Amino acid sequence: MSVTELKERHIAATETVNNLRERLKQRRLSLLDTDISGYAKSQGRTPVTFGPTDILCCRTLQGHTGKVYSLDWTSEKNRIVSASQDGRLIVWNALTSQKTHAIKLPCAWVMTCAFSPTGQSVACGGLDSVCSIFNLNSPTDRDGNLNVSRMLSGHKGYVSSCQYVPGEDTHLITGSGDQTCVLWDITTGLRTSVFGGEFQSGHTADVLSISINGTNSKMFVSGSCDSTARLWDTRVASRAVRTFHGHEGDVNSVKFFPDGNRFGTGSDDGTCRLFDIRTGHQLQVYYQPRRDTEMAHVVTSIAFSISGRLLFAGYTNGDCYVWDTLLAKVVLNLGSLQNSHEGRISCLGLSADGSALCTGSWDTNLKIWAFGGIRKVI
């Protein structure tokens, strides 16, 4: 078969795939008679409203000298770990703004960090394709640095995300540029399960984000550069339970809804979306408010409030929208408030009790936003 014939067959096959994809999209839309906002409006629900002091920037955490890429809260709400391009992890006391640890990393190109459930350890990963574990109770060396207590090696691409399995300091899940996710046994340093890769139901491009179900830690979702999110069961590693379509760009962030039956996504296409893991259906799209001539800004990170009524989304232009998840309305933009960030919002996370939001930015700072009178809805 000649090269010309192969090209013609490839073009024909691509056209067939695109036609099938469009037919599937239309079929999904035909099965959905409404979305969450449409139903909420029909029930007379009113949007969340904010007073001038309901959300305030109460602290700015300064100490990094490079872009902040990732952050995580401890389960007891008063500590935050952040990872920066300056090659350091910093552990902060969120109540006092003081640094309790400044950890020099083996590889400066860090992309993700996470606290263990007990808060005794932190994990991080990046372009060295390794997930490094640090025990915060270990003694420092003569230069004051904390040594790596465990290195989890096995990925063939950068480590983009990591999260400890809830309630377990001994297991965590990583996502990688090698198109796979891995469940690790930290005690042995070995891979317990690999999700994707050579399996047909796995991602076909870099995995960018993961989120473990808080109500069923055997389930987790992953977002990828292949524009899909996938649901996995750690007891069945060979293939994804379900694949979620809808985005038209990289899925940069995924986060489970508080009830564990839904999850949210944030994408390069400028939208956030809400999916149901039981039906596989898209429940809502959160479009940025903008003029027709404006380009949509990339969504970098998302988080839900404790009740799920609010969705926080960070964007590359420094905006941080607070969405009413029921009515799909922006009720506040933290980027328009006093003391907001001066650069891209790269990461964000909610404290365990839901009383505060922390945002990290390319302006090298982290900011803690305290909730006032809106506690009843968050």
What is the band of 328 on the pLDDT scale with cuts at 50, 70, 90?
very high
pLDDT surpassing 60 at residue 373: no
316 pLDDT higher than 90: yes
**Residue 71: pLDDT over 60:** yes
C-beta of residue 88 within 8 angstroms of C-beta of residue 107? no
Environment class of residue 181 by beta-carbon count within 10 Å: exposed (0-12), middle (13-18) or buried (19+)?
buried
Which pLDDT tens digit goes with each residue over 117-155? 999 999 999 999 999 999 999 988 877 788 999 999 999
Q: Is the pLDDT of residue 263 over 90?
A: yes
Report the distance separating Cα 178 and Cα 57, nearest Å.
38
Read off the pLDDT of each residue in 293-318 and give the average, rounded to a whole number. Answer: 93
* Predicted pLDDT of residue 48: 84
pLDDT at 185 over 70: yes
Compute the average pLDDT of residues 258-275. 97
pLDDT at 20: 80
Strands (E), 165-206: 171-176, 180-185, 190-196
- pTM of the predicted structure, to 2 decimals: 0.90
Q: Please, which pLDDT band fits residue 14 given cuts at 50, 70 and 90?
A: confident
206 alpha carbon, distance to own chain's centre: 14
pLDDT of residue 31: 63
Task: Please provide the CATH number assigned to the domain covering 41-371.
Answer: 2.130.10.10
Please, what sign has the CA dihedral across residues 102, 106, 112, 116?
Answer: negative
The stretch 171-188 carries a mean pLDDT of 97
251 against 378, higher pLDDT: 251
Q: What is the pLDDT of residues 88-127, one digit of tens each?
A: 999 999 999 999 999 999 888 999 999 999 999 999 999 9
Q: State mean pLDDT over 38-53.
A: 80
pLDDT at 374 over 60: no
**Residue 239 binned pLDDT confidence (cut-offs 50, 70, 90):** confident
Amino acid 345: pLDDT: 97
What per-residue confidence (pLDDT) applies to 15?
84
The span from the CA of 168 to the CA of 114, in Å, is: 13
Residue 378 binned pLDDT confidence (cut-offs 50, 70, 90): low
How much is the average pLDDT of 326-355? Answer: 93
Average pLDDT over residues 249-256: 98
Q: What is the mean pLDDT of residues 222-250?
A: 93
Task: State the Cα angle at 306 between 304 and 310, rounded to 5°.
Answer: 45
Left, alpha or beta for 144 (phi > 0: left; psi -120 to 50: alpha)?
A: left
Q: Summarize the confidence of residues 291-312 as an average pLDDT.
A: 90
The residue with greater pLDDT, 365 or 374, is: 365
Q: What is the torsion angle, in degrees rounded to the nearest 10, for the CA atoms of residue 13, residue 18, residue 20 and residue 22?
A: -170
Confidence of residue 27 (pLDDT cuts 50, 70, 90): confident
Query: Given this model, what pLDDT does residue 140 score?
Result: 81
**What pLDDT score does 7 carry?**
79
Domain boundaries, the chain: 1-31, 41-371
DSSP string, 5-66: HHHHHHHHHHHHHHHHHHHHHHHHHHH-S--HHHHHHHTT-------TTSEEEEEEE---SS
Confidence of residue 302 (pLDDT cuts 50, 70, 90): very high
Provide the mean pLDDT of the chain: 91
